[in-house]
Structure 1
Amino acid sequence: MSVERIRFLNDQLRTTLTGGRAFMTPGIAALGPEAVQRLLIAIAKFDAFSTANDPHGERDFGMLGFEGLSVIFKIEYFDANFEFGSPDPADPTVTQRVITVMLAEEY
C-alpha cells in the first residue's frame, strides 16, 4: 500500500468532501448549518498532523478546537460493500472512504 496515495485520498475527502462519504454525529448537527459549514472549512484547513496524532502518515485523524469545542474527525476505509475493512486503502476502486466528524465528548 502506498502511504502517499492514502494521504492524497484522505486529504481529498477532508478538504473537498469528495471521494467518499461524510457523516456527522448528533452533537455536530446540533450546532446548526452555519456552524457546521464553518467547521467543515476549519477541518479542510487543518494541517496540524504530527507523529503524535498521525503515526502512519495517512492524515486519517485530527482533533481541533472549534468555537470553544473540541472536535474530532476520523477517516475510515471500508470494502466496496461497507461490510469489512478495505483490502487496500490506497486503491479507490476497492475502498469506500468515510469521514466522521464528532464532538470529542461523543467519541
Structure 2
Amino acid sequence: MSDTNERISGIVGENDVVLFMKGTPLFPQCGFSSRAVAILEHCGVSYESVDVLQDMEVRQGIKAFSDWPTIPQLYVKGEFVGGSDIMMEMFEAGELQELLTEKQVAKA
C-alpha cells in the first residue's frame, strides 16, 4: 500500500464521518463541496473534512482509493457513501439520516 493510501486509510478509519472536499466547510471551493457540507450540517453530525486542494497526492489518491472519479467524497464509519449527488438523493429520501443513525454517528 502506498504512503498516500495509508494516509487516506488512516483518516477514514480514525473518523466516523469524513468528507474529502475542495476547500473547507467554512469556505468550500466548489458548488458540489458546498452542497455536501450543507447536507452534513443539516443532518447535525460531527464530521472531519479534508481539503484535497491542499494536497495533490490526496486529491489523486482518494479517487483511486474509492474507485470514484469525483470530489467531494463522503465516508461513514470507514465505508464509502458517494459524492454530492448521491448524498443529495439519499438525504432527500431520508436514507442518509437513517445511515447516520444506524451507524451511531455522534451529533455535532
Per the normalisation by structure 2, the TM-score is: 0.27
Higher strand share: 1
Per the normalisation by structure 1, the TM-score is: 0.28
Higher helix share: 2
User: Which is greater in Rg?
Assistant: 1
